[in-house]
Amino acid sequence: MFLSQSCLCMKEKECLTMPHPHMTPPPISLTPQEAAYSGNAAKFRQFVFEYEGHTLPYNLYVPKESDQPLPLVVFMHDMGSVSKESDYTLRQGIGALVWADEKEQAERPCFVLAPQYGEKSANDDYTVTWSAEATIALIRHVAETYAIDKNRIYGTGQSMGTMMLCELLLRYPHFFAGCFLTAGQWDPERMGAIKDEHVWIMVSEHDDRAFPIMGACMASVERNGGKVARGHVDAKADEETKASFCKEVLDQGASIQFTWLDGDSVLLPSSPIFPAVHHMSTWKWAYLFSPIRAWLFAQHL
């Protein structure tokens, strides 16, 4: 049985959305698939976690009660979603929403945790802010408060969120049972240390940072004795093609999968063209790969 809200730590309190002006990137049209998940935002509740003088708002989806502990999916958002609005991460893509969908919950029930960062938390010089340690503390707090299977804590993120997760993988080996990383990169000189983690990476071929730098990270993994599977696919592929693609990648027998979406396939006809459009369009498609979601939930510590 899950603990009631009255059992929550005193450091935590339910919060109201706080309006705050912030810059947003050029809008990109929603795909019909994305739009189908948008209603799941209402299933999350907003709270604030206090950590060493800082506050970290977060969004939490609590599934139906279960006789067994359930997995926890932790989603970390991109720089474009940095905001003082506690639920803004639920509006920039479906990286948190997809796991709370009714059909997904029927097949893979889980808790979903989505921190809301109010400032940039991971930098291009491969440094992170206080938010990194606060995020780990928050995950541990939620895992202790609810009936969560601590051997099945999964991390996923996009762009800045992927960068944060890469650093957490390095600092806390085997903390996450598995990670799905989209549209991000980290320090190639250090990333070889993740060789024994279970990670699936997806970037856009025309993302001029994530594709080459994460490729260098994978080369570092291999130099460190790890095995990396590789593959690429059209972002708009049908479900049968996606399933075949994922099987071919997994049949390579690696713990780390490095995959990319072909060419301009991430773009929609209505997409405005700007320098980061391929980067920002990656996560429009990545979370729609059901076989990758299934792979993630098959990982255990």
In percent, the amount of the chain with pLDDT more than 90 equals 84
Note the pLDDT of residue 25: 54
Where does the pLDDT of residue 234 fall: very low under 50, low under 70, confident under 90, or very high at 90 and above?
very high
Q: What single-letter amino acid sits at 87?
A: D
- Which tens digit of pLDDT belongs to each residue from 64-93? 989 999 999 999 999 999 999 999 999 889
Query: Exposed (0-12), middle (13-18) or buried (19+): which is 155, by Cβ within 10 Å?
Result: buried
CB 63 within 8 A of CB 105: yes
Domain that holds residue 224: 5-17+26-297
User: Edge-to-edge strands of the sheet including 228-233?
Assistant: 12-14, 45-51, 54-61, 111-115, 70-76, 148-158, 178-182, 199-204, 256-261, 228-233
Instruction: Please say if the pLDDT value at position 27 is more than 90.
Output: no
CA angle at 70 for the pair 65 and 73, rounded to the nearest 5°: 115
Note the pLDDT of residue 16: 37
Residue 136: DSSP 8-state = H
| Distance separating alpha carbons of residues 165 and 157, to the nearest angstrom | 7
HEC sequence for 166-206: HHHHHHCCCCCCEEEEECCCCCCCCHHHHCCCCEEEEEECC
Nearest CA-CA partner of 9 in 175, 138, 154: 138
Buried b or exposed e, range 253-289, using 16+ CB within 10 angstroms: ebbbbbbbbeeebbbeeebeeeebbbbbbbbbbbbbb
How many separate domains does the chain show? 1
Note the pLDDT of residue 270: 78
Residue 141: Cβ within 10 Å count: 18
Phi, psi of 60, rounded to the nearest 5 degrees: -135, 130
Q: Alpha carbon 298 to chain centroid distance?
A: 16
Q: How far is CA 250 from CA 45, 156, 245, 258, in A?
A: 36, 19, 9, 11
| Distance separating alpha carbons of residues 179 and 169, to the nearest angstrom | 9
Note the pLDDT of residue 33: 84
| Distance separating alpha carbons of residues 160 and 220, to the nearest angstrom | 21
Instruction: Please say if the pLDDT value at position 138 is more than 60.
Output: yes
> Could you tell me the pTM of the whole model?
0.91
| Distance separating alpha carbons of residues 49 and 42, to the nearest angstrom | 20
CB 164 within 8 A of CB 132: yes
| Distance separating alpha carbons of residues 55 and 240, to the nearest angstrom | 44
CATH number at residue 213: 3.40.50.1820
Nearest CA-CA partner of 184 in 64, 95, 62, 51: 95
Structure tokens at 232: 């690429």
